[in-house]
Amino acid sequence: MILTVTLNAALDVTWSVDSLRPRTSHRVDTAHERAGGKGVNVARVLDALGHDVVATGLVGGATGHRILDELRAARIRSEFFEVAGESRRTVAVVSRDDGDATVFNGRGPFVTTAEWQLFHRHYAAMVTDAQVVVLSGSSPPGLPPDAYAQLLRTASAAGARTVLDTSGSGLLHALEARPDVVKPNADEIAAATGHPDLPRAAAALTALGARAVVASAGPDGLYAVTPEGTWRAAPPERLAGNPTGAGDACVAALAAGQEAGSAWPDVLRTAVALSAAAVPCPVAGEVSTAVYRRLLPGVRVEALPGGASASPRPTL
């Protein structure tokens, strides 16, 4: 079983307006509402691909109940822990005139220390059944800065492999717990390490504890530094559409690869094709299996000289 963890689950809401005009009033149609947060989206992709997956994390309040209702309706197995605060909404305001989206992300509920400790216990019980644990997204207010490090240690102690997709100081704090795979995107890895150069930044993350770093460079594909070697993997073509779900689809492929124990070049090929297969879909958590199958044979995976150990010593 693959367990996905979403500490700051959200109700993703899409509002349709004629045209977004700052400083005016808009009549809004709610196009759709669904459970969101990166870990939830990863669970959707894994579920669609036939994997045994459970989504956990923190939800709260009336918005939390809507999140759970929607997951039930979508038949995603979930075991969330309820907190007293109110789960956040993320609202995408989409203009009918040009299709452009303007996004508003809430911060999420304040989580007390007692709630965090109870969640950790709930999580520890689930981790014993998991071969892979995926930890995705931002943390809600109130959590300790090493929240992900704590969860990673519990997973590793239970024998599960771990995949981490977060950013900023949350990413840096987590590395001391030696995640098996971290998946920042190009902006996140540069912001977290201070290195705009992908190879240097990835080397910095491995030096801080990441066993493997898979950095996504948007339509250019992936750059991976692993114990088996260093690779670039690129899709055979660039697709137009909505890139927001591509990172979560990539994480789903990395988790599936960890579960199967696949070789890294195969994992990266799958991850690139699955990321690209999310781009034509309007919402995160969906992939086009037709696009996935069409692109997979054409993904180019290129071994690069020098593993993580041959990279220049990072200075953070």
Point out the residues that are catalytic. Answer: 248
- Which residue is listed with tokens 């014993």? 128
Please select the residue that binds a copy of itself; options are 73, 102, 128, 197, rule is CB under 8 A: 102
| By CB under 8 A, residue 15 contacts a copy of itself | yes
**Integer Cα distance of 272 and 278 in angstroms:** 10
| Best CA proximity match to 180, nearest among 209, 157, 217 | 209
Of 65, 77, 120, 122, the one binding a copy of itself (CB under 8 A) is: 65
Stretch that binds a copy of itself, among 21-29, 38-46, 154-162, 290-298 (CB under 8 A): 21-29
CB of 244 to a copy of itself, least distance (A): 10
Instruction: Give 107 or 300: the residue with its C-beta nearer to a copy of itself.
Output: 107
Token pair, residue 311, equals 């990279």
Q: Does 124 bind a copy of itself (CB under 8 A)?
A: no
Distance CA 316, CA 309 (A): 16
Question: Distance between CA 6 and CA 39 in Å, rounded?
Answer: 5
Closer residue to a copy of itself, CB minimum distance, 233 or 246:
246
Taking the C-alpha atoms of residue 149 and residue 152, their distance in angstroms, rounded to an integer, is 5
93 in contact with a copy of itself (CB under 8 A): yes
Task: Count other Cβ atoms within 10 Å, centred on residue 37.
Answer: 32
- The H or E element that residue 170 is part of is helix 168-175
Looking at the Cβ atoms of 11 and 277, the one nearer to a copy of itself is 11
The answer to whether 68 contacts a copy of itself (rule: CB under 8 A) is no
- Tell me whether residue 95 or residue 156 sits nearer to a copy of itself (CB atom): 95
Stretch that binds a copy of itself, among 13-21, 52-60, 218-226, 268-276 (CB under 8 A): 13-21
For 131, residues 6+ apart whose C-beta sits below 8 A from its C-beta are 1, 2, 160, 161, 258, 259
Please report whether residue 261 would count as binding a copy of itself according to CB under 8 A: no
User: What are the Cα distances from residue 295, in Å, to 183, 269, 273, 283?
Assistant: 21, 9, 6, 20
Q: Quick one: which of 1, 31, 68, 101 contacts a copy of itself (CB under 8 A)?
A: 101
- Interface residues toward a copy of itself, by CB under 8 A: 15, 17, 20-30, 62-63, 65-66, 91, 93, 95, 100-107
